[in-house]
Amino acid sequence: MSLDEEYGRCEAPGRDVNPHEHNYRPQSLQRLTEETAPILRSYLATAERGLAVPRILHRTTNLLWIVDGVGDLWFAIEEIVHQDSGELLYTYPRTRSLKPPPEHVKLGHPSLLSAIDKHARIGGEIQWVPRYNRWVLVNQSGRYGDRPWQTKNHLDAVARKFNQFGIDFHVVFWSPTNQKVGQ
């Protein structure tokens, strides 16, 4: 199966990319590999075993993921930088429920990509959803998750990629019409 069939076409984001997303990458950015997957799996398992900290943290703090042009999967916390300096000293996690101050800018999905053109196949979030009492993989990205050609099959392929490393998610295909994944 080709990468286009598996994850969707590698295309430009659905909306503009801010200059900071061209110039900076999140400090938490990692590629899913044989080395990082067991660590991520262990981290996610802490919530599944009942640790409240990640359950609360990731109800409001986005864990972003994206599949790049060559099929690599990248993940990071959605981070905020200071608009004027871009100083990484000012980096902090973005929370869904709070709007950052006007002088701060989020590093969203495009910042996870090294490609100059910021093309990707599909992107979304990993969320702790109390309704399911587990981690949810969702294509919730306004720039890479709801483009017209993207299907649940593409999201399922991402879930299989995680699953190859022993990371299992409940999968929810998101569209702009069903705004919330779950509470």
- pTM over 0.85, yes/no: yes
Give how far Cα 50 sits from Cα of 31, 44, 56, 90, 134, Å.
26, 11, 11, 31, 10
Q: Which residues contact 176 (CB under 8 A, 6 or more apart)?
A: 142, 146
Round to whole Å and give the CA distance between 171 and 154.
11
Q: What pLDDT is stored for residue 183 in this prediction?
A: 45
Round to whole Å and give the CA distance between 118 and 140.
17
Share of the chain above pLDDT 90, in %: 69
Give the mean model confidence (pLDDT) for residues 44-49.
Answer: 95
Round to whole Å and give the CA distance between 101 and 26.
18
Q: What pLDDT is stored for residue 58 in this prediction?
A: 87
Q: Would you say residue 117 has pLDDT above 90?
A: yes
Identify the residue with better confidence: 57 or 88: 57
Q: Would you say residue 181 has pLDDT above 80?
A: no
Which of the four pLDDT bands, split at 50, 70 and 90, describes residue 66?
Answer: very high
Give the mean model confidence (pLDDT) for residues 103-126.
Answer: 93
171: helix, strand or coil: strand
Evaluate whether 155 touches 124 at the Cβ level (below 8 Å).
yes
Q: Would you say residue 127 has pLDDT above 80?
A: yes
Q: What pLDDT is stored for residue 80 in this prediction?
A: 87
Dump pLDDT digits (tens) for 16-27: 998 889 988 999
Q: Which of 1, 3, 6, 17 is nearest to 141 (CA)?
A: 17
C-alpha 163: how far from chain center: 16
Q: Which of 106, 111, 105, 21 is nearest to 65 (CA)?
A: 111
Give the mean model confidence (pLDDT) for residues 158-171.
Answer: 98
Q: What pLDDT is stored for residue 89 in this prediction?
A: 52
Which of the four pLDDT bands, split at 50, 70 and 90, describes residue 1?
Answer: confident
Share of the chain above pLDDT 70, in %: 90
Q: Give the burial string for 95-125 (b: 16+ CB within 10 Å, else e).
A: eeeeeeeeebbbbbbbbbbeeeebbbbbbbb
Give the mean model confidence (pLDDT) for residues 88-116.
Answer: 79
Q: Which residue has the tokens 């990629």?
A: 161
